[in-house]
Amino acid sequence: MARRPGPRARQSERLQIGYTVLFQVFPRYGSVVKHLMSTNMPAQRPHSISLVLPALNEAENIASTVDDCVQTLQRVARDYEIIVVDNDSTDDTAAIVRQLQADNSHLRLIHQPIRGYGSAIWTGLTAAKMEIVGWRDSDSQYRTADIMPMLKALDTHDVVVGHRVQRKDPSHRLLFALLWNLLNRTLFGFVAHDMDCGCKIFRREVVDTLDVKATGAVFNIEFLVQAKRAGFRVGEVSISHQPRHAGENTGGSLRVILRAMREVLRLRWRLLHEPRPTRS
C-alpha cells in the first residue's frame, strides 16, 4: 500500500502547483514568482544523520540531551538516529533511555561494558547507519543546534570540529586544556584549535576508512590525526559552550590527566611505525 505524503510534503506540493499556475498566467512576473518559491517553499533536508551520545552515569542529563538532539535533527535531517552508548553506567542512564525509546523509534541504546570514552564513541560510530555521522557529549554543555553551521561546513570539508571559543569550565580545566593543546601541536602538528571538543561531525567515509585504537581520552586526538593523515579535509566551526549543571565530570582528575599523557606519547610512537590510513 502506498504511503500517504505527510503534511509538509502536501504543503510543498500545493505551493508548487500554485506558483506554476501564477507563472503561466503572469509570465511577465516570472522573477517575482521564483522569489516567492525560494522564500516560501519548505526547506529541504538533504542529510541523513547518525548522532552518537557516549554516556557514563549521565542519568541527570540524558533525557534533556536526547530531547535537545531530537529537536534539532527533526529540523535538519531527512532521516536520523540517536545512538546512546551506555558505558557501563552504575546509575539509571540506560533505564531512562529505554523509557524514551517507547516514544521515539529513532533512538537506539547500546551497552558498552568496556569503560572508556573512546571505546564508547567508536562503538557508536561503527554501529551508525546514516551518511553523516558525529557525536556530542551527553552532558548539558553543548547545544545540538550548533551542528547546523557544521553541516554547512561539510560542503567543503570531510570532518568538522566544534571550537569552544568561550569554554565554561573551571579554571584548572582551562589551564590543562591549554597545556594539552600545546603538547599535541608539538607532537602532531596543527590539526584544529579545539581537538578535544566533544562535538564533531563527518562523512560516513571517515568511519569506514579509519581504525581508531585509543579507548580513553586520547580518542579525540587519534581520530583527528588519523583523519588528517588519511587526507581528509578537517575544518572547524565556533560553537557555544555551557557550564555543567548536573552529573560529574571526570576529565579533569589527576588520574585521568596522567593516563592521557602516557597514552598520547604511546600514540605518537605508534604512528611513527604505522602506515597511513588509505581512503577507500
Task: Render pLDDT for 214-254 as a digit per residue (tens, 0 to 9).
Answer: 999 899 999 999 999 999 999 999 999 988 877 666 555 67
Please measure the distance between the N-terminal and C-terminal CA atoms of the chain and give it in whole angstroms. 39
The answer to whether position 19 is within a domain reads: no
The answer to whether position 9 is within a domain reads: no
CATH number of the domain within which 114 lies: 3.90.550.10
Are the CB atoms for 218 and 118 separated by under 8 Å?
A: yes
The answer to whether position 2 is within a domain reads: no
* Global confidence as pTM: 0.81
The answer to whether position 32 is within a domain reads: no
Spatial distance between the Cα atoms of 132 and 98, rounded to a whole number of angstroms: 25
pLDDT tens, 134-148? 999 998 899 999 999
Task: Give the residues of the chain that fall short of pLDDT 50.
Answer: 1-9, 19, 22-23, 32-42
pLDDT number for residue 16: 53
CA dihedral 118, 261, 166, 87 (to 10 degrees): 20
* Count of the separate structural domains present in the chain: 1
The answer to whether position 84 is within a domain reads: yes
Radius of gyration of the chain (CA): 22
Name the DSSP class of 42: P
Q: In 1-61, where does DSSP find H-type helix? A: 7-25, 30-40
pLDDT number for residue 271: 95
**97 membership: H or E segment, kind and range:** helix 93-101
The answer to whether position 29 is within a domain reads: no
The answer to whether position 3 is within a domain reads: no
Domain that holds residue 69: 47-273
**184 membership: H or E segment, kind and range:** helix 171-188
The answer to whether position 18 is within a domain reads: no
